[in-house]
Amino acid sequence: MATTLHVTIRGRVQGVGFRYATYREANALGLTGWVRNAYDGSVEAEFAGPKESLDLMLGWCREGPPYARVSDVEVEWRDSDSKYVRFEIRG
């Protein structure tokens, strides 16, 4: 069973390249899934892959790209039979 990490990231995370930086980092770690801006000003993402890579991604999400200011990361771990084939930026 694969592991999936779902996060909601709050703070100054929209308008600072967060989604694109997340895309680059997820691809560098070999993760699949998605990232998107939420209507409430947060960024939401779901990552699938090896637990070690997911732990690294979570650490990155707590910091974000240079112009972001992360104030909170809501984390949900799930057992999953993920069918993602790549990492993508959504809406």
Active site residues: 19, 37
Closest CA to 10 of 59, 44, 58: 44
Strands 32-37 and 2-12: unpaired
